[in-house]
């Protein structure tokens, strides 16, 4: 989960969601997918999805995708006990990170009226938490989708959901993991500036950083690639991810 540092919202006329995205970039603040359509504004101070920013301060605002916002609505009531990207350090490139991302082999079952219509083994990038707050956040927003059962490493997806692509967060995260791994396997690798644009376009900053931190030993290089570059889409990134 990309750690955020916020500047003030610009005092110019913009659509509501655009005002927040101009501070923290066009990504879901929790699952990190790019917000191509229907971004929602979450006022964490009131634990409510809001239409108008009004007097709300940017400090309390985050952006959510349709799936994360759906779980916010179902579970609204308290944001206590969560680890959010603008409150505390959410991701550490080296050592023990509150949120961790790993490639797992899972059994995917597509079911119709509880009958299995398809079963296959597949890759899935799973987020796990190493603090009670991170674990609670993953659980509340079902950041591994509501289909995933960690105990059995199974994804049980109703056929209707599979056909309508109801919750693609893990699928998208896994695609980005494979893209990043493919890019890393090229001898020499792409130039820094082209890597940045690929990371910006694909989203899932933490997935990229998980893979790149393992092969880039120099912190300054990681900082240049993943850190604060205010004019890019990944604006608002806190360089605290380099803390050890």
Q: Which residues bind Zn ion (CB under 5 A)?
A: 28, 30-31, 65, 68
Choose between 65 and 138: whose C-beta lies nearer to Zn ion: 65
* Residue/partner pairs of 36-45 with CB below 8 Å, 24 or more apart: 38/65, 38/66, 39/63, 39/64, 39/65, 40/64, 40/65, 40/66, 40/69, 40/72, 41/16, 41/17, 42/69, 42/72, 44/79, 44/84
CB of 65 to Zn ion, least distance (A): 3
CB of 50 to Zn ion, least distance (A): 17
CB of 115 to Zn ion, least distance (A): 30
Choose between 127 and 162: whose C-beta lies nearer to Zn ion: 127
Choose between 38 and 190: whose C-beta lies nearer to Zn ion: 38
Burial class (CB in 10 A: 0-12, 13-18, 19+), 214: exposed
User: Taking the C-alpha atoms of 8, 87, 239 and 180 in order, what is their torsion angle to the nearest 10 degrees?
Assistant: -110
CB of 83 to Zn ion, least distance (A): 15
CB of 141 to Zn ion, least distance (A): 7
- Beta-sheet pairing, 115-129 with 40-43: unpaired
CB of 76 closer than 8 Å to CB of 55: no
Choose between 31 and 222: whose C-beta lies nearer to Zn ion: 31
Choose between 30 and 58: whose C-beta lies nearer to Zn ion: 30
């Amino acid at each position: 989960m990309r750690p955020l540092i916020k500047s003030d919202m610009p005092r110019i006329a913009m659509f509501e969601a655009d005002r927040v995205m101009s501070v923290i970039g066009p990504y879901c603040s929790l699952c990190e997918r790019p917000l191509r359509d229907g971004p929602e504004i979450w006022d964490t101070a009131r634990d409510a999805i809001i239409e108008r920013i009004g007097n709300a301060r940017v400090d309390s605002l985050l952006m959510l995708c349709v799936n994360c916002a759906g779980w916010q609505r179902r579970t609204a009531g308290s944001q206590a006990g969560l680890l959010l990207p603008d409150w505390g350090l959410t991701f550490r490139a080296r050592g023990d990170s509150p949120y961790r991302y790993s490639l797992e082999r899972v059994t995917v079952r597509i079911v119709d009226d509880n009958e299995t219509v398809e079963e296959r083994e597949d890759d899935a990038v799973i987020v796990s938490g190493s603090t009670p707050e991170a674990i609670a956040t993953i659980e509340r927003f079902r950041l591994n989708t509501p289909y995933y059962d960690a105990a059995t490493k199974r994804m049980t997806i109703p056929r209707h959901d599979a056909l309508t692509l109801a919750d693609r967060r893990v699928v998208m995260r896994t695609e980005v993991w494979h893209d990043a791994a493919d890019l890393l396997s090229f001898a020499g690798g792409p130039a820094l500036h082209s890597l940045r644009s690929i990371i910006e376009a694909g989203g899932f900053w933490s997935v990229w950083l998980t893979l790149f931190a393992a092969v880039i030993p120099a912190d300054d290089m990681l900082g240049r690639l993943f850190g604060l570059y205010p004019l890019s889409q990944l604006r608002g990134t806190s360089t605290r991810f380099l803390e050890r």
